[in-house]
Amino acid sequence: MSVTIVYGSDGGNTTKLAKKIASKTSGKAIDIKKATAADFENCSLLILGCPTYGDGDLQTDWQDHLGTLEEADLDGKRVAIFGAGDQMNYPESFVDAIGILYDVVADKGANVVGFTDTAGYDFTGSAALRDGKFVGLALDEDNQAGKSEKRITEWLAQIR
């Protein structure tokens, strides 16, 4: 299975997470600033990673390069999404960015995999919820970094 991880990151947390996921999947990690439509298309599993900024915004590079994702042919493509958020300082918009990316890829016909349970998180709202689950893997490197390794391992087992 060929795996491509496309991520955006300013502070480095999402870069670190993307590289960890790439090493566990033998995949390649590509910064969204360098990604092409072909990078989204030419893999059997596409994983998108984005931190949530402020009150629920996509990371800046994702905002600037979202058109590249929108140009890609994702019809029937297996897509998984992960994101970093801060449930203590932004409990009302925890990992909203993965909900934004979910809407984009779902509208393009992607088969989104890797929904996760909300148990173990302490937040009040999220645009990443569908039917009571996160649309991908929610990680909080600011407040629950010790739980990330286990969450990543379980999530990867689920999406493979």
Q: What is the 3-state secondary structure (H, E, C) of 71-99?
A: HCCCCCCEEEEEEECCCCCCCCCCCHHHH
pLDDT above 90 for 76: yes
Q: Is the pLDDT of residue 99 over 90?
A: yes
Range of the domain at 54: 3-159
Average pLDDT over residues 24-51: 98
Average pLDDT, stretch 124-146?
97
Tell me the mean pLDDT in the region 67-86: 98
Q: Give 92's pLDDT tier (boundaries 50, 70, 90).
A: very high
Percent of the chain with pLDDT over 70: 100
Averaged pLDDT for residues 106-115: 98
For the chain, give the mean pLDDT: 97
**How many domains, the chain?**
1
> Using one digit for the tens of pLDDT, what is the confidence trace for 30-39?
999 999 999 9
Domain CATH code at residue 59:
3.40.50.360
Give percent of the chain with pLDDT exceeding 90.
Answer: 98
- Is the per-residue pLDDT at 115 higher than 90? yes
- Chain-centroid distance, C-alpha 121: 17
Global confidence as pTM? 0.97
Nearest to 60 by CA among 88, 34, 41, 32: 32
31 and 61 in contact (C-beta within 8 Å)?
A: yes
Which residues touch 125 (CB under 8 Å, ≥6 apart)? 91, 92, 93, 94
Instruction: Give me the pLDDT at residue 54, please.
Output: 87
Tally of residues, the chain: 160
